A and B are shown apart, each in its own frame.
Chain A
Amino acid sequence: SVEKEAPGGGADGDDSLYPIAVLIDELRNEDVQLRLNSIKKLSTIALALGVERTRTELLPFLTDTIYDEDEVLLALAEQLGNFTMLVGGPEYVHCLLPPLESLATVEETVVRDKAVESLRKISQEHSPVDLEVHFEPLVKRLASGDWFTSRTSACGLFSVCYPRVSSTVKAEIRQHFRTLCSDDTPMVRRAAASKLGEFAKVLELDYVKSDIISLFTALASDEQDSVRLLAVEACVSIATLLPQEDLETLVMPTLRQAAEDKSWRVRYMVADKFSELQKAVGPEITKNDLVPAFQNLLKDCEAEVRAAAANKVKEFCENLPEDSRETIIMTHILPCVKELVSDTNQHVKSALASVIMGLSTILGKDNTVEHLLPLFLAQLKDECPEVRLNIISNLDCVNEVIGIRQLSQSLLPAIVELAEDAKWRVRLAIIEYMPLLAGQLGVEFFDEKLNTLCMAWLIDHVYAIREAATCNLMKLVEKFGAEWAQNTIVPKVLGMANDPNYLHRMTTLFCINSLSEACGQEITTKQMLPVVLKMSNDQVANVRFNVAKSLQKIGPVLDSSALQTEVKPVLEKLATDTDMDVKYFAQEAISVLALA
């Protein structure tokens, strides 16, 4: 039928230009990919049809034919969220509800979630009247659907309509939410639990106390741990909403229970949300309840939980009330931290290593030297490279408090060991910290201890390491200046130009590429350029075309006479090379440098 009803009339912008059949044929194409493409351009189709026909013809078609591949449905659900203007503005936005309602009931989670997202979006474009006449009934239908999918979707829609409806409808909405919280399908209870906090936020405080708390308590003691752990998330929002005096009776019993739940997943969630919880319940409850709870989590029997808690050590300590912070840390937290330093699980140790340095700012110089420094040193010697890396990457915190000199003697062996680690990713990681370390340790220490390492990486057998080493040199030069480069690095780099290994000779070129700008015109012209030019006679073609590339790269740093008298002849010669790649790059350089 497509051929017969060819689009007529040209694209003059008329509303009824295209017969809907042609467009719908596109949406029905047998090839999924083409169907998907058409759906993704649904707005174009709607535009071609005009607002009225989009409402009366396109949307009914879409509503009726929702049985397609999930990918197509996903695209449709997304499109419809942006369709308000295409159906004629907020006045008509409710026309979008029927197709989105169907999409909100499909099995595939991503489609459903997207439909809910779009529904939430267009709910804002409904007038209060339309919200009650069209939107809220939809929510009710979904909430009492037969199959769990529609009830799951309903959970995400209560909070967007609640604030804008009458009090009778509000009561209905609260009733529906209550029903879903005790649904006999765990999928629905999970959905309800995950929206509990969001829903609590739009409720009046009295209802938070009367309704939400009982739902929260029930969900937090659900038979399925996957539901209970979601209640922990809600706990943060709920605690934030309640006045301090109500927290103890309404929230704390449940939170205490969650922190000691028999399922490690729930305890993990508590550990993971610990900082948020701490802020939500305030300093007094933190002192009395959360400190012992945190200690238990740090000593938990599951490594997952310990690691999650270890991650929060710094934040937890930072947020402790100032008057008792130091005492709490020294007497309650630090003993647990000390044990974690020699934990059996490397994830726990590395989680701790990523935050432990932050404690020094909180505890001050003396405590750091006496209590934390031994821990840092122990972690610097840990068998797991990630632990050592995490310590090294956070040196700046300690540097501020006690100065890095305290650590430098121990740092060195740790750095050397990481620098020679058998895994190239570990070597790569330590290279990336070099500029930072150099800045903190100072030029003297660097020249004495670390310079050799930096040069050794240039001849690593892994390209990624050589590349990173090159980049590292550039950053060092930026830090220590051109004069330092001239004395320490440049001679060594240029020396490699005579290496029998062509990979090393190329490394010289790569270094020059990244160093020339930082080193400036004089060093580039006088020291680097002659070496590059000489290498244009290299036997290996790869070296020769890299010469061409290098010349293109350093050209802007050189003055015009050097370019004309030295660079140009060499490039011209390379442009007649027997190797086609050499020719290509030489010609490219000539044209970029405008030497033709």
Chain B
Amino acid sequence: MWYLNTSKTKELIVNDRKWREHAHIESKCCSRAMSSAATTPPSVDKVDGFSRKSVRKAKQKRSQSSSQFRSQGKPIELTPLPLLKDVPAPEQPELFLKKLQQCCTVFDFMDTLSDLKMKEYKRSTLNELVDYVTVSRGYLTEQAYPEVVKMVSYNIFRTLPPSDSNEFDPEEDEPTLEASWPHLQLVYEFFIRFLESQEFQPSIAKKYIDQKFVLQLLELFDSEDPRERDYLKTVLHRIYGKFLGLRAFIRKQINNIFLRFVYETEHFNGVAELLEILGSIINGFALPLKAEHKQFLVKVLIPLHTVRSLSLFHAQLAYCIVQFLEKDPALTEPVIRGLLKFWPKTCSQKEVMYLGELEEILDVIEPTQFVKIQEPLFKQISRCVSSPHFQVAERALYYWNNEYIMSLIEENSSVILPIMFASLYRISKEHWNPAIVALVYNVLKAFMEMNSTLFDELTATYKSDRQREKKKEKEREELWKKLEDLELKRGLRSDGIIPT
């Protein structure tokens, strides 16, 4: 507002510049900005708030909190309770309940100045509770179960806030950390100790830890904070282990999360963690595998390969796939066909990942299964070997360093060599990268040693085969040209028949 009452514009511009420089410096050292308010030009008063804003912005970048604090009311007051160890044992269960109730109070951590004392009080109480459930005996009365679940629910269940940036790239950007972590961590810690406690009885707990609870728990896996997801992983694992009645439900909900992730949003932060849990779940599947589990493999795990952010969970995903194949080798064919169907067209980085996973699968493949898929498989490998991206070509050519794969190729060289030959022969002459050419020479040499008769035959017919291909190509073109002429003629004859 400082330039409202003047008309000397030129001077104003100069002033304006000075002011901006000043503000700029100030924003750089924002910690001192508040106290240096007196040194700012008198004309720039609070209205601008330049420095204060930058302080707030910087903080928001690093942490965020749930969106449950709709309006800040009055300060929170909790009446301090005596320590559990200071009261006689018979009174402890009662006091334990009271402390659980107190810990249901949730604080706003985005406001770093409010309720400091009470925040500290809750923190120490939570700490005490963690120790208490770890070492005490006889505290877990039946009344305690609903209170524990209530306290945990009040603290951890919340609507996750919107992601800070629209285009959050988990590989590049720093994750936004949960502001209330000082309390949240202890709540998770407490809950895990509770679930792991020797006195814990699933038969009582299942009344409170039910489907709704699990559903909310699963939603939290979308948290951006990796620390929270790590705790959630342990919690879910324990629940899956102890509550047999929830297992099918948990698997189904994970299914839904993955399907939504693949086909609707492509955004979910906790895919790797969920896959990690699934890895050990699959490990425990009984044989023969149920149809439900096979469907999960083919309709959920395989499509997960199509997601853009594959690199964030590929290791865990490949582990799950291999687990399945070790359980039931007959699944090899649908798995490999699935991978071939979704083979990346433009993303070389993903192609390298696929090749890596394929090698893991080939490491455990049974020779009878190998024979079933070798043709489509090596057609793809032949395309990879001739990729202009040298990392893709290199990764594919490394298969020939794998002894087990080599033995499989050798057994089936009469099928594989004709598929691979043309690509290898061409790259050995054309590829821009000398390292690739060298690798290809080794592969060609290996093939020559394997089956020299066939190799010679293929070398001899290479040229005529190419010519035949060209001829075929020309015939195709002619066919289509004729078809198009036909379309034109028909199109002229009867209006509206030809959809354009």
- Across the interface, A13 reaches (CB within 8 A) one of B260, B303, B490, namely B490
Q: Which residues on B sit within 8 Å (CB–CB) of A477?
A: none
- Contact partners of B445 in chain A: CB under 8 A: none
Instruction: Collect the chain A residues with CB atoms within 8 Å of residue B4's CB.
Output: 377, 409-410
In the complex, chain A residues whose CB is within 8 Å of the CB of B69: 301
| CB within 8 Å for A186 and B56 given contacts A82-B499, A262-B68 | no
B9 to A45, Cβ gap below 8 A?
no
* A414-454 at interface with B (beta carbon < 8 Å): 416-417, 449
Q: Which of A43, A45, A412 contacts B499 (CB 8 A)?
A: A43
Which of B397-405, B406-414, B421-429, B477-485 sits within the interface?
Answer: B477-485
Known: A147-B299, A186-B260, A409-B4. A264 touches B475 (CB 8 A): no
For the complex, is A569 an interface residue (Cβ under 8 Å from B)?
no
Q: Which residues from chain B contact A17 at a C-beta distance below 8 Å?
A: 486
Query: A13 contacts which chain B residues (CB < 8 A)?
Result: 486, 489-490, 493
Closest to B161 in A: A302
Task: Flag if B16 contacts A416 (CB, 8 Å).
Answer: yes
Q: How far is the CB of A123 from chain B (nearest CB, A)?
A: 17
The answer to whether B489 and A11 touch across the interface, beta carbons within 8 angstroms, is yes
In the complex, the answer to whether A413 meets B16 with C-beta atoms within 8 Å is: yes
Q: A264 and B497: CB pair below 8 A?
A: no
* A109 adjacent to B67 (CB under 8 Å): no
B70:A301 contact, CB within 8 angstroms: yes
CB distance from A122 to the nearest CB of B (A): 12
Say whether, besides A47-B498, A147-B299, A413 and B489 are in contact (CB < 8 Å): no
- Segment at the interface with A among B44-52, B85-93, B123-131, B351-359: B44-52
The chain A residue with its CB closest to the CB of B483 is: A44
A330 to B479, CA, bound (A): 74
Confirm or deny: A371 has a beta carbon within 8 angstroms of a beta carbon on chain B: no
Q: Given A109, A185, A410, which contacts B264 in the complex, CB threshold below 8 Å?
A: A109
Per the bound structure, the CA–CA distance linking A78 and B13 in Å amounts to: 60
Determine which of B260, B303, B486 lies in contact with A47 in the assembled complex, contact meaning CB atoms within 8 Å.
B486
- The reply to whether B57 and A344 contact each other, CB–CB distance below 8 Å, is yes
Q: Which of A2, A79, A187 contacts B259, CB < 8 Å? A: A187
Looking across the interface, which residue of chain A has its beta carbon closest to that of B70?
Answer: A301
Q: Which residue of B lies closest to A267 (CB)?
A: B67
* Contact (Cβ within 8 A) A262 B499: no
Contact residues, A168-188 vs B (CB, 8 A): 185-187
CA distance A107 to B259 in the complex (A): 9
Q: Is the CB of A187 within 8 A of B159?
A: no
The chain A residue with its CB closest to the CB of B496 is A85
Question: Do A378 and B498 have beta carbons less than 8 Å apart?
Answer: no
CA distance A85 to B487 in the complex (A): 14
Q: Which residues of B contact A7 (CB under 8 A)?
A: 478-479, 482
List residues of chain B with CB within 8 A of the CB of A409: 3-4, 7
The reply to whether B20 and A26 form a contact with Cβ atoms under 8 Å apart is: no
- Cβ contacts A1-36/B at 8 Å (1 or 0 each): 011001100110100011000100010001000100
A109 to B476, CA, bound (A): 33
**Contact between B256 and A108 (Cβ–Cβ < 8 Å)?**
no
Contact B263 A304, beta carbon cutoff 8 Å: no
- Return chain A residues, CB-CB under 8 Å to B60: 344
Q: Is the interface of B mostly helix, strand, loop or mixed?
A: helix
Give the contact-size bracket for chain B: 35 or more
Q: Closest Cβ of chain B: how far from A192's Cβ, in Å?
A: 15
In the complex formed, the residue of B with least CB distance to A344 is: B56
Given contacts A378-B47, A381-B48, contact A449 B16 (CB under 8 A): no
In the complex, which of the residues B13, B68, B264, B341 contacts A69, with contact meaning CB atoms closer than 8 Å?
B341
User: Is the C-beta of A342 less than 8 angstroms from some C-beta in chain B?
Assistant: yes
Residues of B134-187 at the interface with A, using a CB-CB cut-off of 8 Å, are 159, 161-162
Given A262-B159, A378-B47, A148 and B264 contact (CB-CB distance below 8 Å): no
Q: Which residues of B contact A412 (CB under 8 A)?
A: 9, 12-13
Q: Is there contact, CB below 8 Å, between B162 and A48?
A: no
Give the nearest-CB partner of A412 in chain B.
B9
What's the minimum C-beta distance from B379 to chain A, rounded to whole angstroms? 8
User: Is A383 located at the chain interface by the 8 A CB criterion?
Assistant: yes
Q: A residues within 8 A CB of B247?
A: none
- Shortest B222–chain A CB gap in Å is 11
Given A85-B496, A262-B159, A377-B1: A107 in contact with B299 (beta carbons within 8 A)? yes
Instruction: Name the interface residues of A26-71: CB closer than 8 Å to any CB of B.
Output: 26, 30, 34, 41, 43-45, 47-48, 69
Residues of chain A with a CB closer than 8 A to B53's CB: 344, 383
Q: How far is the CA of A144 from the CA of B475 in the complex (A)?
A: 47
How far apart are B437's CB and chain A's nearest CB, in angstroms? 25
| In the complex, chain B residues whose CB is within 8 Å of the CB of A22 | 479
* Closest chain B CB from A22 CB (angstroms): 7
- Complex contacts, B446 vs chain A, CB 8 Å: none
CB atoms of A11 and B486 under 8 A apart: yes
Q: Does A225 contact B (CB under 8 A)?
A: yes
User: Chain A's nearest CB lies how many Å from the CB of B26?
Assistant: 12
Q: Is B330 an interface residue (CB 8 A)?
A: no
> Does B215 belong to the interface (CB within 8 Å)?
yes
Q: Is the CB of A264 within 8 A of B483?
A: no
Q: If the complex has contacts A6-B475, A13-B489, A302-B162, are A187 and B498 also in contact, measured as CB distance less than 8 A? A: no
Cα A47 to Cα B493 in complex, Å, equals 12
- The answer to whether the Cβ of B74 comes within 8 Å of any Cβ in the partner chain is no
- Is A576 close to B, CB under 8 A? no
The answer to whether A166 has its CB under 8 Å from any CB of chain B is no
* A11 adjacent to B485 (CB under 8 Å): yes
Contact A413 B487 (CB under 8 A): no
Determine the distance from Cα of A410 to Cα of B3 in the docked complex, in whole angstroms.
7
Closest to B16 in A: A413
Kindly state whether residue B22 has any CB partner on chain A within 8 Å: no
Known contacts A223-B215, A409-B4, A410-B4; is-contact A86 B497 (Cβ 8 Å): yes
Asked if A263 lies at the interface with its beta carbon under 8 angstroms from chain B, I say yes
In the complex, B472 has a CB within 8 A of chain A = yes
Cβ contact within 8 Å between A416 and B264: no
Query: Once the chains bind, are B48 and A41 in contact (CB under 8 Å)?
Result: no
What is the interface of chain A, defined by CB distance below 8 A to chain B? 2-3, 6-7, 10-11, 13, 17-18, 22, 26, 30, 34, 41, 43-45, 47-48, 69, 79, 82-83, 85-86, 107-109, 147-148, 185-187, 190, 223, 225-226, 262-265, 300-304, 342, 344, 377-378, 381, 383, 409-410, 412-413, 416-417, 449
Q: Please name the 7 residue pairs, one residue from A and one from B, whose CB atoms are nearest each other, closest first.
A: A82-B499, A11-B486, A11-B482, A109-B263, A263-B159, A304-B162, A44-B483
What are some 27 contacts across the A-B interface (CB < 8 A)?
A6-B475, A13-B493, A18-B483, A34-B476, A43-B498, A43-B499, A44-B487, A45-B483, A47-B498, A48-B486, A85-B499, A107-B263, A107-B299, A108-B263, A109-B264, A185-B256, A187-B256, A225-B159, A262-B68, A264-B67, A264-B159, A265-B159, A301-B67, A301-B70, A409-B3, A409-B4, A413-B3
17 other A-B residue contacts (CB within 8 Å) besides A34-B476, A417-B20: A11-B483, A11-B489, A18-B483, A44-B480, A44-B487, A47-B486, A47-B490, A48-B486, A109-B263, A187-B263, A187-B264, A264-B161, A264-B162, A302-B67, A381-B48, A412-B13, A413-B12
